[in-house]
């Protein structure tokens, strides 16, 4: 019977083409949007994790309260001991200390007089050690535009756009003017080793990377760091595991009465993205629900048109002795075939286009020129196993739903009228 139905669908294009195209279009959009949202959210999370919060972040409670000001006077101290404890207790994680700081970057002329000055945001990480996880996390090697990775103390990387603005390049000297952990003014001469492109407008405008030991020395932060970040080795955030580690850490180290005691937070909490992610999840469900409802209405209408066109055929089938339930089931089966076929095509097209955007990305930097968010300039889709499944939900459900509603008319058909109806 299935073979018989497939033959009918293949030959009668008006029975199959429009529904297949409808399903194709809906599934394509659902799969593409799902993959696109997935990619944008993943990239945003990844960027936020890499540059801001890690998958887990440890700070003092006081630092956490004032985090927007990078208050290094409230930084963690005894960092080396804490890192040893972390590595021992949570060896499954990669732990790395960072210091974020602000200040002025002074570019001198040949007479050592100020040529140009600009506010700067800096991230001090372990740059010198070749085994540093930061190379991978911050994608430093491939971000280099000119020059090289710092090999010696005092060398820094500067955002390429920022370097152009300051008219400096590799080999030039820059002076960082900032304040120490204890509030006094400090100046340190740094040598530009290379320029980098972060791909994040907020950082490309005014950021530098320095080695953490240089900044610890410059800001009087020996054995101190603003924060310690923890990353899962596969670079994917695992919420359940992260929450467990955070609660175990906080139980051991956090002292509500000591504002300098460390506390650990997870990526969604630290980034403030948990509500945002929940909203995106809800939106994904809403988008799929909209597709299901819209496609069901369209396919219901197509089903009604088809039923009218196939009125004679259904009448003959009733007269020949096919019972109404069987006819109804074959219509549902036909719709499932259409749904599966349209869903396969839509999924292939949706994942195909999404994959292209995953590989090549969409340059959206023009939108983020004034943005201070950790949003990558190139938005990329992300094709996951879910992308191959998600389209089948609206694809099959809507065709079956549409046909189920349209097919109810079969049960209202009076067999006693068949001779009259079939002889019109």
Partner 1 sequence: MNNSYLIKTEHIKKIYPMGLTTLIALDDINLTFKKGEFAGLVGPSGSGKTTLLNIIGALDSPSEGSAEVLGKKVETLSHRSAAHLRNWYIGFIFQTFNLLPVYTVFENVEFPLLLQNIPSPKRKKLVMEALEWVGLADRANSKPAHLSGGESQRVAIARAIVKKPELVLADEPTANLDAENSHHIMRTMVQLNEELKITFIFATHDEKVMRYLKRKISLNDGKVEKDEIFELEVKK
Q: Residues in the site for partner 1, rule: CB under 8 A? A: 1, 4, 7-8, 11-12, 15, 312-313, 315-326, 415-416, 418-420, 422-424
Instruction: With CA atoms as reference, report the closest residue to 122 among 161, 163, 173, 70.
Output: 70
| Nearer CB in complex with partner 1: 99/302 | 302
Q: What does the DSSP assignment read for 253-290?
A: H--TT-TTSEEEEEHHHHHT-HHHHHHHHHHHHHHHHH
Residue 72's alpha-carbon distances to 53, 69, 91, 154, 179, in angstroms, are 16, 9, 27, 20, 9
Three-class HEC string of 355-375: HHHHHHCEECHHHCCCCCCCC
Q: Reduced to 3 states, what is the DSSP secondary structure of residue 153?
A: coil
Instruction: Give me the least distance between CB of 410 and partner 1, in Å please.
Output: 11
Instruction: Give me the least distance between CB of 48 and partner 1, in Å please.
Output: 57
Q: Reduced to 3 states, what is the DSSP secondary structure of residue 183?
A: coil
Instruction: With CA atoms as reference, report the closest residue to 100 among 168, 148, 159, 53.
Output: 53
Q: What are the residue ranges of helices labelled H in 310-391?
A: 311-320, 324-360, 385-390
Instruction: Give me the least distance between CB of 318 and partner 1, in Å please.
Output: 8
Is residue 205 within 8 Å of 160, Cβ to Cβ? no
Residues present in the chain in total: 424
Instruction: Give me the least distance between CB of 238 and partner 1, in Å please.
Output: 52
| Nearer CB in complex with partner 1: 183/321 | 321
Q: Reduced to 3 states, what is the DSSP secondary structure of residue 8?
A: helix
Q: Residue 224: which residues within 8 A CB-CB, separation 6 or more?
A: 72, 75, 76, 77, 78, 79, 99, 181, 216
| Nearer CB in complex with partner 1: 185/320 | 320
Instruction: Give me the least distance between CB of 285 and partner 1, in Å please.
Output: 39
Instruction: Give me the least distance between CB of 403 and partner 1, in Å please.
Output: 18
| Nearer CB in complex with partner 1: 360/419 | 419
| Nearer CB in complex with partner 1: 6/202 | 6
Q: Reduced to 3 states, what is the DSSP secondary structure of residue 308?
A: helix
Instruction: Give me the least distance between CB of 15 and partner 1, in Å please.
Output: 8
| Nearer CB in complex with partner 1: 311/388 | 311
| Nearer CB in complex with partner 1: 360/411 | 411
Instruction: Give me the least distance between CB of 37 and partner 1, in Å please.
Output: 41
Q: Residue 335: which residues within 8 A CB-CB, separation 6 or more?
A: 19, 299, 303, 399, 400, 402, 403
| Nearer CB in complex with partner 1: 185/424 | 424
């Amino acid at each position: 019977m299935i073979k018989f139905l497939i033959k009918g669908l293949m030959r009668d294009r008006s029975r199959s083409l429009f529904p297949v195209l409808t399903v194709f279009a809906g599934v394509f959009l659902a799969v593409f949007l799902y993959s696109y949202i997935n990619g944008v959210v993943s990239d945003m999370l990844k960027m936020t994790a890499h540059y801001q919060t890690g998958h887990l972040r440890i700070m003092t409670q006081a630092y956490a309260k004032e985090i927007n000001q990078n208050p290094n006077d409230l930084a963690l101290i005894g960092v080396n001991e804490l890192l040893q404890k972390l590595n021992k207790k949570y060896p499954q994680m990669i732990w790395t200390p960072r210091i974020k700081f602000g200040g002025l970057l002074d570019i001198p002329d040949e007479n050592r007089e100020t040529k140009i000055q600009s506010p700067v945001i800096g991230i001090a990480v372990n740059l010198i050690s070749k085994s540093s996880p930061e190379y991978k996390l911050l994608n430093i090697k491939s971000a280099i535009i000119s020059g090289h990775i710092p090999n010696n103390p005092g060398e820094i990387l500067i955002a390429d756009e920022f370097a152009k603005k300051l008219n400096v390049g590799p080999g030039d000297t820059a002076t960082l003017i900032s304040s120490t952990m204890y509030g006094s003014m400090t100046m340190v001469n740094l040598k530009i080793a290379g320029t980098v492109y972060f791909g994040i407008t907020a950082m490309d405008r005014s950021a530098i990377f320095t080695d953490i030991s240089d900044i610890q020395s410059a800001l009087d932060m020996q054995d101190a760091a603003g924060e310690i970040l923890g990353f899962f080795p596969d670079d994917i955030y695992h919420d359940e595991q992260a929450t467990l580690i955070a609660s175990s850490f906080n139980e051991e180290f956090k002292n509500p009465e000591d504002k300098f005691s460390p506390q650990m937070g997870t990526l969604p909490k630290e980034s403030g993205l948990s509500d945002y992610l929940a909203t995106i999840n809800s939106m994904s469900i809403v988008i799929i629900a909209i597709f299901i409802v819209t496609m069901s209405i369209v396919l219901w209408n197509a089903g009604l048109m088809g039923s009218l066109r196939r009125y004679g055929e259904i009448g003959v089938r009733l007269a020949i002795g096919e019972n109404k339930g069987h006819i109804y089931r074959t219509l549902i089966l036909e719709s499932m075939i259409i749904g599966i076929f349209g869903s396969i095509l839509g999924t292939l097209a949706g994942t195909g286009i999404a994959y292209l955007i995953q590989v090549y990305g969409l340059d959206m930097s023009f939108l983020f020129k004034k943005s201070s968010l950790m949003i990558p300039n190139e938005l990329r889709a992300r094709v996951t196993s879910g992308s191959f499944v998600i389209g089948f939900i609206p694809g099959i459900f809507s065709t079956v739903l549409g046909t189920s509603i349209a097919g109810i008319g079969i049960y209202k058909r009076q067999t006693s009228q068949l001779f009259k109806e079939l002889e019109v």
